[in-house]
Amino acid sequence: MSGDRVRVFFDLETTGLDTAECEIIQVAAVHEERLFNVYILPSKPIDEGATKVTGFTVKDGKLFCREDQKATTPLLEALESFITFLSSFGRPVLLVGHNAKRFDGVILSRVLGASSLLEKFKAVVSGTLDTLPLSRELFPNLQNHKQEFLVRHFLAAEYGAHAAEEDAKILQKLFKHWNIQDQTILEKHVF
């Protein structure tokens, strides 16, 4: 059951949309007021489309987001720090992400596997809840189920979309606003 697990809301920013190839640029997660946020310098170029959406670029071996230089952490260290953050809750974690089953979760699993950290991660994370199909089930009459639309619709808010930290924070607020009582509905969307 998702009720006995700590819900940690997360998001990734990547070098592109190809889940088999793209690299992680940013990992962010939030639980209540506790925040994890790390930037990673990619080893391959960032797709032009990804730059347009996220604002991330690499110049002279440094990572920038809309001209603001970001301190970066090596990939392995960033992943280990993320696992340490997740294990700090002292009980199983349920990761919660929007479009996690088809995007963020796929990339995270691939990168953790390539870094030989997948088993360590699975020892801490008992599952991932995808709020995209959940929102489609709960609110089938909405014209759109993208996170930005849902935030405007339910919270009447605008936010810095496509920045992992902001996406994770607002997803936590959105999920709390939905106030889902039926654990069965939630469990259908856990993978």
CATH number of the domain enclosing 17: 3.30.420.10
Percent of the chain with pLDDT over 70: 98
d(CA 189, CA 102): 12
d(CA 10, CA 129): 10
53 belongs to a structural domain: no
Average pLDDT in the chain: 95
56 belongs to a structural domain: no
d(CA 71, CA 80): 17
pLDDT single digits (tens) 12-43: 999 999 999 999 999 999 999 999 999 999 99
d(CA 11, CA 96): 9
49 belongs to a structural domain: no
95 belongs to a structural domain: yes
166 belongs to a structural domain: yes
Specify the pLDDT at position 3.
56
Residue 12 near residue 107 (C-beta atoms within 8 A): yes
100 belongs to a structural domain: yes
d(CA 166, CA 176): 16
Question: What's the Cα-to-Cα distance from 6 to each of 21, 46, 55, 89, 174, rounded to whole Å?
Answer: 30, 33, 31, 7, 17
Provide the domain limits for residue 6: 2-41+72-187
State how many domains the chain has: 1
Query: Quick one: DSSP state of residue 190?
Result: B
Two tokens at 36? 């994890």
153 belongs to a structural domain: yes
110 belongs to a structural domain: yes
